[in-house]
């Protein structure tokens, strides 16, 4: 073409060009058209190949199968099966990233992944008695596909229907089994952030392997509790345990009573008593079993069947199953991987747990907030240990408790080792017209360091919006109570010195001797904790402890009731 353009400048060539131009123009046009068609087909082929290349940022770098969906089929399926918008989004994105190739079928057969997933879905339906995930069409089509084998693939419409039913079912299942209630946890008084889980990647992992089960995106405490749920489901299918008519007088070792036969049956089912004997005698082995049961329930471990123990024994298996399910729901909100070094306070248990390298190293008793002044559920990062702390009194306490007393006699402050501060200046409480205030005084009231200070010798600060922290207390007697909800919301620790040494272990200068020397001065001292330590304040009324024992506690703040109404409906609310 370049030569032709150049030779066209020759006069003779111009004459020939003029003579033969119609034929040349037609030929050139045909060549151009052929070139355009070839180029278009090449680009189309290239674009198709690009379109059907799986998204390598998420999915494995391979073509899965020659079975490909028409993207228009998705819209039709959504309309016919009333698929929720959120599920539509997940399904469409999943297929787009795998270039609309089928997930549950290979060229020759239904994959093992389909059978593996369906078994897991059926197990969930059984474990949680949740019929909302049951789908008769899936069961029918899967049975047909397994029965007739390759012949099933000869009906493209049925193959496509099963393909899309399984995928939409998968996202419904994972949202329910691993994310939990769609209600905002903040409305359920749970302020620990939830991380969104990537179920598209989870499904890709499942269908790209040879049918192994899904690695559940939940923490190990959820898995442990699920194992116990299955045990209790088995007990329920066998009829559960009966109610126990215990006499008003507590039963103890060597007593004889007909109710003890039913007690023994119940404790055998629960795993606290190893062997059943049909006598009506309170034996040594029964006393040990009762103590194990009391320990798991957070009761006084006296080995006697008293009123509190009888109440917990008489909780039916259905009650315990629902309790387990409610706490599995909460565990879906907890991060999959919890920090290996952390502090965890379980409010209904009245315990602080200290974890090092993902293993509980020790725990101690705590006092938490009363029903009227609940301890909030949240996560913080402990950054400061304060020795000989001032206690800065909150506005609520000033308004509701102190102000009426100050109006009667400002000497109340001196008697309680307190002072009034404005900026950096300490004021004379008698110079203030307390009667002119109904609430929210424009001053700070604080209690000075000392033996009577409400925070004791040390407090542990982790910035939060709830004005909650851990601290020592002069009221040590309260730690001996089995139910320890006495505070205004902050958390009192029974072993504050041990906790301080644990948190400052990375700062060798702060050993026990150095701490004692500062405590002797009664002067406030702030120490930075490096690195800061995560603190989880949680609310679990059922959990599996580090020994593998299933524990239950009472619903201290009524949060089980609220969550039960959300999950099961009002008619099944826990009482």
Mean pLDDT of 135-144: 93
Domain ranges for the chain: 2-51, 71-217, 241-315, 340-389+452-540, 391-448
pLDDT higher at 130 or 523: 523
pLDDT confidence tier of residue 51, bands split at 50, 70 and 90: very low
pLDDT of residue 487: 94
Q: How confident is the prediction for the chain on average, in pLDDT?
A: 86
Any catalytic annotation for residue 364? no
pLDDT in tens, 318-357: 999 999 999 999 998 888 888 999 999 999 999 999 999 9
User: What are the structure tokens assigned to 252, written together?
Assistant: 């103890």
Q: Is the pLDDT of residue 565 over 80?
A: yes
| Residue 428 burial (CB count, 10 A) | 9
**What's the pLDDT at 499?**
98
Residue keyed to tokens 């009829």: 239
How far is CA 325 from its chain centroid? 13
Report pLDDT for 211.
Answer: 52
Segment 499-519, tens digit of pLDDT: 999 999 999 899 999 999 999
Question: What pLDDT, on the 0 to 100 scale, is given for residue 9?
Answer: 43
- The alpha carbon dihedral of 245, 251, 255, 260 has a sign of positive
Strands (DSSP E) contained in 413-547 are 418-422, 425-427, 444-447, 458-461, 470-471, 485-487, 491-493, 525-538, 542-544
Q: Which residue has the tokens 């007690």?
A: 263
Helix (H, G, I), strand (E, B) or coil at 234: helix
> Which of the four pLDDT bands, split at 50, 70 and 90, describes residue 190?
confident
- Give the model's pLDDT for residue 210: 61
The 10s digit of each residue's pLDDT in 235-270 is: 999 999 999 998 889 999 999 999 999 999 999 999
Structural class in CATH, domain 241-315 = mainly alpha
Tell me the average pLDDT across 275-303: 97
Q: Is CATH 2.40.440.10 the right assignment for the domain spanning 340-389+452-540?
A: yes
Alpha-carbon Rg for the chain, nearest whole angstrom, is: 35
Mean pLDDT of the region 456-465: 95
Token representation of residue 278: 């049909």
pTM of the complete model: 0.80
Residue from 81, 353, 490, 502 carrying the catalytic annotation: 490
Is the pLDDT at 39 greater than 50? The verdict is no
Tell me what pLDDT residue 64 has: 58
If we measure between CA atoms, which residue out of 84, 93, 98, 169 comes closest to residue 134?
A: 169
User: What's the chain's length in residues?
Assistant: 575
The catalytic residue among 23, 81, 364, 471 is: 471
Q: How far apart are CA 531 and CA 509, in angstroms?
A: 16
Helix (H, G, I), strand (E, B) or coil at 419: strand
- pLDDT tens readout for residues 197-218: 788 888 888 887 665 667 777 8
As beta bridge partners, residue 305 has: 251
| Confidence at 47, pLDDT banded by 50, 70, 90 | very low
> Which pLDDT value is given to residue 498?
97
- Is residue 471 flagged as an active site residue? yes
Statement: residue 88 has pLDDT above 90:
yes
Cα dihedral 147, 150, 151, 157 sign: positive
pLDDT at 13: 43
Q: CA–CA separation, 499 vs 479, rounded Å?
A: 16
pLDDT reading at 21 higher than 80: no
* Contact by Cβ (8 Å): 408, 430: no
Q: Given pLDDT bands bounded at 50, 70 and 90, which one contains residue 180? A: confident
């Amino acid at each position: 073409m370049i030569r032709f353009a150049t030779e066209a400048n020759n006069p003779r060539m111009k004459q020939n060009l003029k003579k033969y131009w119609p034929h040349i123009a037609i030929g050139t046009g045909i060549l151009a058209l052929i070139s355009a068609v070839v180029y278009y087909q090449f680009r189309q082929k290239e674009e198709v190949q690009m379109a059907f290349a799986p998204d390598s940022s998420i999915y494995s770098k391979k073509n899965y199968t020659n079975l490909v969906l028409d993207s228009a089929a998705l819209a039709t399926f959504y309309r016919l099966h009333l698929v929720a918008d959120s599920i539509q989004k997940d399904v469409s994105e999943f297929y787009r990233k795998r270039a609309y190739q089928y997930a549950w079928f290979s060229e020759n057969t239904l994959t093992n992944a389909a059978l593996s997933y369906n078994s897991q879905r059926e197990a969930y339906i059984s474990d949680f008695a949740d019929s909302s995930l049951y789908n008769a069409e899936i069961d029918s089509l899967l049975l047909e596909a397994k029965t007739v084998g390759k012949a099933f693939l000869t009906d493209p419409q049925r193959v496509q229907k099963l393909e899309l039913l399984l995928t939409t079912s998968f996202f419904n299942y994972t949202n329910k089994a691993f994310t939990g209630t769609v209600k905002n946890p903040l409305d359920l008084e749970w302020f620990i952030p939830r991380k969104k889980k990537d179920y598209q990647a989870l499904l890709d992992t499942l269908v790209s392997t040879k049918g192994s089960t899904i690695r559940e995106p939940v923490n190990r405490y959820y898995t442990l509790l699920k194992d116990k749920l299955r045990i209790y489901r088995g007990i329920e299918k066998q009829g559960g345990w009966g109610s126990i008519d215990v006499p008003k007088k507590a039963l103890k070792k060597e007593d004889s009573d007909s109710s003890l036969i039913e007690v023994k049956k119940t404790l055998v089912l629960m795993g606290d008593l190893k062997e059943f004997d049909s006598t009506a005698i309170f034996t040594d082995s029964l006393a040990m079993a009762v103590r194990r049961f009391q320990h798991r329930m957070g009761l006084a471990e006296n080995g006697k069947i008293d009123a509190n123990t009888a109440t917990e024994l008489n909780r039916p298996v259905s009650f315990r199953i629902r309790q387990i399910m409610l706490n599995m729901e909460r565990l879906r909100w907890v991060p999959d991987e919890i920090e290996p070094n952390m502090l965890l306070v379980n409010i209904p248990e009245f315990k602080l747990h200290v974890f090092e390298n993902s293993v509980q190293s020790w725990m101690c008793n705590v006092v938490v907030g009363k029903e009227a002044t609940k301890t909030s559920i949240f996560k913080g990062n402990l950054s400061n240990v304060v020795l000989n702390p001032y206690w800065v009194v909150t506005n609520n306490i000033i308004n509701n408790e102190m102000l009426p007393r100050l109006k009667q006699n400002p000497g109340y402050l001196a008697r309680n080792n307190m002072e009034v501060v404005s900026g950096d200046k300490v004021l004379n409480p008698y110079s203030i017209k307390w009667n002119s205030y109904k609430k929210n005084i424009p001053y700070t009231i604080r209690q000075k360091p000392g033996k009577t200070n409400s925070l004791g010798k040390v407090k542990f600060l982790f910035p939060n919006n709830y004005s909650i922290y851990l601290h020592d207390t002069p009221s040590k007697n309260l730690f001996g109570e089995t139910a320890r909800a006495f505070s205004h919301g902050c958390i009192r620790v029974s072993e504050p010195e041990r906790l301080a040494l644990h948190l400052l272990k990375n700062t060798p200068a702060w050993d026990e001797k150095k701490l004692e020397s500062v405590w002797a001065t009664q002067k406030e001292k702030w120490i930075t904790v490096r690195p800061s330590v995560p603190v989880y304040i949680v609310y679990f009324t059922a959990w599996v402890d580090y020994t593998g024992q299933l524990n239950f506690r009472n619903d201290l703040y009524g949060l089980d009731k609220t969550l039960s109404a959300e999950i099961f409906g009002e008619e099944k609310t826990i009482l």
